[in-house]
């Protein structure tokens, strides 16, 4: 796996995940769910905060993924669980560079989220 000094890791070829699909990848020992939704990439910890359900196998709609096991729903961009509006899943910056998808394994900072507001 390729790494850049800033903590970015090449995860896969972009065509490995079709639009509106997701897949799990192990990056530096962490299991990451990578989502391709509405022309954006989202990287989240792969296991649901409830009982460890596989989020990459969940249903995605309107920027949220619904866990396939008991239906907890999370915002892809923030990791917030929608019912309690609490961030329960870690998210990571993800982007496509050419034909590859990269993620940065440092968790997204709340300051970064705020800078987009």
Cα(41)–Cα(93) distance, rounded to whole angstroms?
9
**Among positions 28, 70, 96, 109, the unique one binding ligand FES when judged by CB under 6 A:** 70
CA distances from 113 to 60, 71, 72, 107, 116 (A): 21, 25, 22, 11, 6
Q: Which of 50, 97 has the CB closer to ligand FES?
A: 50
x-or-dash string of contact with ligand FES, 38-57, rule CB under 6 A: ----------x-xxxx----
> Residue 9 pairs with which residues in a beta bridge?
3, 103
Q: Which of 48, 56 has the CB closer to ligand FES?
A: 48
Q: Which SS3 state, helix, strand or coil, does residue 79 take?
A: coil
Least separation in angstroms between residue 69's CB and ligand FES is 4
In the 8-state DSSP scheme, what is residue 8?
Answer: E
Quick one: which segment of 5-13, 38-46, 62-70, 85-93 binds ligand FES (CB under 6 A)?
62-70
> Which residues of the shown chain bind ligand FES in the complex (CB under 6 A)?
48, 50-53, 67, 69-72
């Amino acid at each position: 796996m390729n790494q850049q000094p800033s903590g970015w890791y090449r995860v896969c070829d972009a065509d490995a995940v079709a639009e509106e699909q997701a897949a799990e990848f192990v990056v530096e020992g962490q299991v990451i769910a990578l989502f391709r939704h509405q022309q954006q990439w989202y990287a989240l910890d792969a296991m649901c905060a409830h009982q460890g359900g596989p989020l990459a196998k969940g249903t995605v709609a309107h920027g949220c993924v619904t866990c396939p096991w008991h239906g907890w729903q999370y915002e892809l961009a923030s990791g917030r669980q929608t019912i309690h509006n609490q961030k329960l899943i870690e998210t990571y910056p993800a982007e496509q560079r050419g034909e590859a998808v990269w993620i940065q394994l440092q968790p997204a900072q709340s300051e970064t989220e705020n800078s987009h507001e």
